[in-house]
Amino acid sequence: QGVLPPAILSLITAMVPSVVRLLANMQGLHSRQRVENYVQIYYFSFLFVQLFLTVSLSAGITTIIGQLRDTVEAIPTLLAQNLPKASNYFFSYIMIHTFMTFAFTLMQITGLISMFVLSPLFDKSPRQKWMRRQSLGLQKWGTFVPVFTNMACIGLIYSVIAPLILVFSMIYFGALWVLYRFYPPKLSDLELGATGLFYPTAIRQLMTGIYFMELCLAGLFFLVRDADGNATCTAQAIIMIVTIAFTALFHFSLDHRSGLHWLSSRPIFKQLMAQTGSKGKDMHVATKIFQSPCQDETLTSDPPVLWIPRDGLGVAEDEVVHTRETYNSIGISCDGASLNEQGKLILGGQPPDWRLK
């Protein structure tokens, strides 16, 4: 309980995405979309385990382990007994996270540090300085979406345990809706297209909250006793267990690769396929080509153009003329960048090869 533990936990979890993204890059995924989707999946798993399961079950972990060793059937009851103890913590965590999101978005603390501290220390070329400006305030899909998905899961689970959390969740999502309406987050850059990977992943991850909510509700029904100590809501608990099974079937049908494919069997789709004829086969072949793994960037990208800053002595202009006369295959330019009298790099435009990308 209190303000300090949630604040420290938020700072620690902020370092996790960098590690997950590094592991994703080491796997050799063929596109940045896949990397961000990989980060989204595993970052949500970390947030759910670290922020929900660990906090909710830490109070009676020794008792829980001992009881789970005896029987697995006690899982719903154990969840129902231990989850209400952590409700006050999540009240504080949701409000602290709301205030921190507002502060970082409005004050642009990360952007100030990047431009006035990191840029003078590490940016030695015009392209590095321009790339830092382009990525200023850029949010990563893989770390932006799981935070909201995890908050939604926590709100769903605790809605049957501590309904007051619905008020805090409403404040959280309502405040962020107002914030991002006037300060929309920058979620894509020149090299990344969302391609619709992140929304269905978030929908499937929300099912985690629904599963745990139903488990907790079943456990609460099992805990209800009458004056003689007998269970009085066993039928309701069994209904919740059946509901979990139906939820699993619905979750299974969400995956388009293993779903029921009702649309493809309708007459209108059969008629369209008959009208296209061979064109449909050509489209299928083209789709397979575009869905193949990407080739190496050195085989498909345009040759880069050397970008050097213009100086007052004219050394850069002489180098441009000399390089173009000596090496015809090397592009070089000094437009859009210059050095002042103190030797400080000043940007006045974009890279000369920017339109080629």
Residue 313 in domain: yes
Q: Domain check: are 230 and 308 in the same one?
A: no
Of 250, 244, 237, 240, nearest to 211 by C-alpha is 244
How far apart are alpha carbons 171 and 177 in whole angstroms? 10
Helix 141-158, helix 16-26: angle, nearest 10 = 120
Q: Are residues 28 and 126 in the same domain?
A: yes
Stated as kind and residue range, the H or E segment containing 244 is helix 234-254
Q: Let me know whether 247 and 306 are in one domain.
A: no
How much is the pLDDT for 234?
86
Same domain, 229 and 140: yes
Torsion angle, alpha carbons of 335, 341, 346, 348, to 10: -40
pLDDT at 206: 93
- Domain boundary among the residues 191, 224, 254 is at 254
Same-domain pairing of 308 and 246: no
**311 and 238 in one domain?**
no
The confidence score (pLDDT) of residue 313 equals 85
- 222, 239, 254: which is the final residue of a domain? 254
Question: Do 249 and 337 fall into the same domain?
Answer: no
Among candidate residues 196, 231, 254, the one where a domain is terminated: 254
Q: Is residue 322 part of a domain?
A: yes
Q: Is the same domain home to 199 and 340?
A: no
Residue 67 near residue 223 (C-beta atoms within 8 A): no
**pLDDT (0 to 100) of residue 214:** 92
| Whether 66 and 155 share a structural domain | yes
Residue spans of the chain under pLDDT 70: 1-3, 6, 30, 57-85, 188-195, 255-301, 355-357
Q: How far is CA 345 from the centre of its chain?
A: 35
Q: 126-137 burial, b for 16+ CB within 10 Å, e for fewer? A: bbebbebbbeee
Domain total for the chain?
2
Domain span holding position 166: 4-254
pLDDT given for residue 44 in this prediction? 94
CA distance 298 to 83: 53
Q: Mutual orientation of helices 32-47 and 141-158 as an angle, nearest 10°?
A: 30
Q: What is the CA radius of gyration of the chain?
A: 28
Q: Is residue 267 part of a domain?
A: no
Q: Tell me, yes or no, whether 186 and 59 share the same domain.
A: yes
**Beta carbons of 188 and 140 less than 8 angstroms apart:** no
Q: What is the DSSP string of 115-168?
A: IIIIHHHH--SHHHHHHHHHTTTBPPHHHHHHHHHHHHHHHHHHTTT-TTHHHH
| pTM value surpassing 0.95 | no
Residues 6+ apart with CB under 8 A from 335: 310, 349, 352
CA distances from 200 to 153, 196, 204, 207 (A): 15, 7, 6, 11
Establish if 145 belongs to a structural domain: yes
Residue 264 lies in a domain: no
